[in-house]
Structure 1
Amino acid sequence: MTERALRPLTEEEYLALERESPLRHELLEGIPYAMAGAGLDHNLIVTNLVALLKPLARAKGCRVYSETVKLKLSEDTFYYPDVMVVCGPKAHPLYETAPCLVVEVLSPSTEAQDWREKLSRYLRLPSLLGYLILESERPGGRLYRRTPEGFQEEALGEVLHLPCLEGPVPLDAIYEGVA
């Protein structure tokens, strides 16, 4: 373990680490955590979703990012969401800060983190209108949608109507080709 890993990193140190490292790291309260690789089905779900969201986002002047773009939640916390949609100006050349939609695809190694840690942190983002959690082993998941009363949890139906984007997203198209 390097000396740098023994103490919390500053934002500048973290961004430098990410530039130099062959591995991606998420930063949680200043501590970097190497990210595990994703399985084929996980990657296919992300790819399908990006392909489905891209035309909807383009029509609204928004951008869709996948897996390799950082989301800065605070000075000492950065994640790499599986998918995020941002409709405002770019925040920084290396990260975004104000997504309207964030999507995580569950995997055995990240499921607890996505349900607990990321859920509570993402829902604090003022710009966020929806957090979608997708199962990786079968079609399904949950959508947390912002309402005037706060975030409401919704089960997924056959067609998703995601916050900040207009247009239907068929659940079976998200899972096309997934075993």
Structure 2
Amino acid sequence: MSIAAKYRPYYTYEDYCQWEGRWELIEGMPYAMSPAPVPDHQRVCVRLCLRLEQALEHCKKCKVYLPIDWKITEDTVVQPDILIVCKPINKKFLDFAPDLVVEILSPSTASKDRGEKMELYQSQKVKYYLIVDPKFKKIEIYQFVNNQYQPVAVNPDKQAFIFEETDCKPEVNLLNIWE
């Protein structure tokens, strides 16, 4: 055990449920989800969420969610910016891997989204992971293939990107989500 691990606090889902404000918990380490996202982050989130909803309009199985608790283990709870879930959620939190996760980068979360969270989502076999960068107007799409994420598109230039590995195979127009 490293010296840092020996002395850092360790928390569980039970502790997490007592906290005020928005938090994430990764392997017992808390991360405050503040300050609130900046306006550019929120606008991109709304536009992308609307496009995903439209693409799933006729799908009975898959649903789009904004941040909800995804309890992965007793010491890991995350709140991705957007999720697509293709099975019913029967608890007050998600307790299985979603089909698609979107993280919209901000200066305070970019390294965590590209590092810890990407590795975490990959370990949970999330089929698609989208990293959206409002600053550089870039979307990176990763697909879970052969037990790891493979980049399948950066700034998709087709009219619609098809998420083939989900139950409803939505075709999502990712062009011009930037205002």
Aligned length: 165
How far apart are the structure 2 equivalents of 1:148 and 1:91? 30
Per the normalisation by structure 2, the TM-score is 0.82
Counterpart position of 1:88: 87
CA change 1:7–1:167 in 2 (3 A) is closer
Task: Choose from 123, 131, 134 the match for 1:133.
Answer: 131
Q: Where has structure 1 moved over 6 Å in runs of 4 or more?
A: none
Task: Choose from 10, 13, 16 the match for 2:12.
Answer: 10
Counterpart position of 2:45: 46
After TM superposition, list the pairs within 5 Å mapping 1:29-178 onto structure 2.
Answer: 29-36=27-34, 37-60=36-59, 61-67=61-67, 69-126=68-125, 128-148=126-146, 150-154=148-152, 155-159=154-158, 160-162=161-163, 163-164=165-166, 165-175=168-178, 177=179
Q: Match for 2:64: what amino acid?
A: V
How far apart are the structure 1 equivalents of 2:52 and 2:15? 33
Per the normalisation by structure 1, the TM-score is 0.82
The residue matched to 2:43 in structure 1 has which SS? helix
Counterpart position of 2:4: none
Is the CA contact 2:66–2:81 (under 8 Å) kept in the aligned structure 1? yes
Stretch of structure 1 that moved more, 145-154 or 70-79: 145-154
The residue matched to 2:144 in structure 1 has which SS? strand
Instruction: Give the deviation of 1:44 after TM superposition.
Output: 0.7
Gaps of 5+ in 2: 1-7
CA change 1:58–1:148 in 2 (3 A) is farther
Gaps of 5+ in 1: 1-5
Cα distance per residue 1:107-140 (max 9 Å; x no partner): 11111111111111101113x1100001111321
Is the CA contact 1:88–1:98 (under 8 Å) kept in the aligned structure 2? no
Instruction: Give the deviation of 1:31 after TM superposition.
Output: 2.6
How far apart are the structure 2 equivalents of 1:11 and 1:82? 20
Identity of matched residues, %: 31
CA change 1:28–1:146 in 2 (3 A) is closer
Cα distance per residue 1:33-54 (max 9 Å; x no partner): 2112111110011111111111
Counterpart position of 1:3: none
How far apart are the structure 2 equivalents of 1:141 and 1:71? 23
- Which has a greater percent of helix? 1
Q: Match for 2:172: what amino acid?
A: V
